Structure 1
Amino acid sequence: MSQIAYSRHDRVGTIVMGRGPANGIDISFVRDFDAAIEAAERDTDCLVVVVRSNLSGFFSGGGDVNRFRENAPQQNTEMIAFLHETLSKLTQSEKIYIAEIDGHALGGGYEIALACDLRFASTGNYRIGLPEVKLGLFPAAGGTQRLASLIGPARALEFMITGTTVTAEEALQLGLVTRLFTEAELTEQTLAYAKQMASAATPAISKIKRSIYDGFCSQLSVGFAMERRHIATLFASEDVATRLTAFIERKKLSSANR
């Protein structure tokens, strides 16, 4: 049974991620997410899609580190390539995709949000960021390209090479999220915005989106290819294997001490 589901009410679709405990990203997650996007794209009555989580505290915690450690480097590289294809469907779509963030959006989880057109977040005690460098990796699911285009190369570079994570309030100031609401208001406000967007001049809106993205999509494809090439080298390195093992052991120790 899929842990990611698509549904629609009126002209607003919703993709709900629900793979406990943290919407960890592995090949099965990507397959389910891809299927949900395909369902949304086939639904001609849907004009706006909200991507959200139904897990407490997490939009998505990013890549499943246990899977990364268990997989052969080639398997990890193939998963990244599949995730590239899947997230590119959001950019290429004429529908508007809105990420509704009300919990940790880290690594590949924030890269999902980056692939959406807009990012609405709630206040709360959680973090947003791309901390992959701490595992000897980097944001290879489109993160280097999309974040640089969103906030500029220099700020994106500093953000990624330090593995910085920030609060939702800081994310708004940095331009990492589009709008910020209280926890109680987030879903209501996101839905209200989506409904308004769906009832607006949608042919013009889709052309605006296409005009913006088509201008740098060719550059994105080149950047994505470089991401895949560089991440393949890192997945095969001893440094990453050591860091992944250390991360898993720290989590086990932390859980045992609770």
Structure 2
Amino acid sequence: MAVTATTEDRIGYITLDRPPANSYDRTFIEELGAATDQLDSDDDVRVIVVRSSSEKFFSAGADVKNFAESDADTNNDMVRLAHRVFDRFGAIDKLTIAAINGHALGGGYEIALACDVRIAAEGRYRIGLPEVTLGLLPGTGGTQRLPRLIGRGRALLLMTTGTSVTPDEAARLGMVDRLVPAEELTDHVREVASTIARGAPLAIAATKRAVHRGVDRPLAEGLQIELDELAPLFGSEDGAEGMAAFLEKRSPEYQGR
């Protein structure tokens, strides 16, 4: 399989493994969707990490040869499928983290963009959306997610020139959320994911929903969403446990109730 789902210590891992560059076809996208659904339905999993088995590539995006050999209807159908699958990363309650260790280009970077958080390794690889150089556009979320992340002007400049950037530049622009030494990426991502996995799952899910639902709305609407998400937490067992643990100076034990 090109995409597998595994679990360890309440962390779900989606591993991309289609040598040499994790370029994807329809089967890859279907497997990515199945892996996401599997981990989302596992109540023991609290956070999901998307990672690559390759030392050089996170993902080079869609398989261009496959696109070139297929008709327009087939290509558009696969892109629509990719939209549905990538949208799942933001729609599920569990936080999703992209661990970028190598080239993340085109649809490969769009996988990372669809995740809630992007943690990248330092290195000499490239990150970007070069689809315009193929006479196309970033069609699996790039034209919408990148401007929301780094601003319209910067995003348009990158996408219309097809420019890719180094990890350092990506971090400066906000294309990735955190940059760490390459040899520390695996341990750092595991530490971040473990911290989230130990946290209050209801509160984390509510925080994610409040951000995703409210950030692009007028402030007043966003603040109302925040209040709506907070209200049930005061009546939850986890809320009572968190406050009791704070007052008793001990570590909380959250159950997701």
TM-score bucket of the superposed structures, by smaller chain: 0.7 to 0.9
The equivalent residue for 1:85 is: 84
1:99-144 Cα shifts (integer Å, max 9, x gaps): 0001000000000000000000001120000000000101110111
Normalised by the length of structure 2, the TM-score is 0.82
1:211-234 Cα shifts (integer Å, max 9, x gaps): 11123689xxxxxxxxxxxxxxxx
The equivalent residue for 2:102 is: 103
> Counterparts in 2 of 1:12-27, with a 5 A limit?
12-27=11-26
SS in structure 2 opposite 1:185?
A: helix
Higher relative contact order (CA 8 A, sep 6+): 1
The equivalent residue for 2:71 is: 72
1:65-93 Cα shifts (integer Å, max 9, x gaps): 10000011100000000000001111101
Normalised by the length of structure 1, the TM-score is 0.82
| Aligned counterparts of 2:22 and 2:72: Cα–Cα separation in 1 | 22
The equivalent residue for 2:46 is: 47
Worse-superposed segment, 77-86 or 194-203: 194-203
| Aligned counterparts of 2:63 and 2:198: Cα–Cα separation in 1 | 38
1:124-180 Cα shifts (integer Å, max 9, x gaps): 120000000000101110111111111111111111111110000110000000111
Report the CA distance between 1:201 and its aligned residue. 2.5
The equivalent residue for 2:175 is: 176
The equivalent residue for 1:209 is: 208
SS in structure 2 opposite 1:49?
A: strand
1:43-77 Cα shifts (integer Å, max 9, x gaps): 11111111000012000001101000001110000
SS in structure 2 opposite 1:94?
A: coil
Worse-superposed segment, 121-130 or 209-218: 209-218
> Counterparts in 2 of 1:225-240, with a 5 A limit?
none
Which consecutive aligned stretches of 4+ in structure 1 deviate over 2 angstroms post-superposition? 215-218
Please tell me the root mean square deviation across aligned C-alpha atoms, in Å: 1.2
Aligned residues: 217
The equivalent residue for 1:160 is: 159
The equivalent residue for 1:132 is: 131
The equivalent residue for 1:196 is: 195
| Aligned counterparts of 1:192 and 1:56: Cα–Cα separation in 2 | 20
SS in structure 2 opposite 1:43?
A: coil
The equivalent residue for 2:232 is: none
**Residue 80 and residue 162 in structure 1: after superposition, are their counterparts in 2 closer, same or farther (change >3 A)?**
same
| Aligned counterparts of 1:217 and 1:44: Cα–Cα separation in 2 | 30
Question: Where does structure 2 lack aligned partners over 5 or more consecutive residues?
Answer: 218-257
Q: Tell me which structure has the larger Cα radius of gyration.
A: 2
| Aligned counterparts of 1:175 and 1:201: Cα–Cα separation in 2 | 27
SS in structure 1 opposite 2:160?
A: helix
Question: Where does structure 1 lack aligned partners over 5 or more consecutive residues?
Answer: 219-258
Is 1:145 matched with 2:116?
no
The equivalent residue for 1:185 is: 184
Report the CA distance between 1:202 and its aligned residue. 2.4
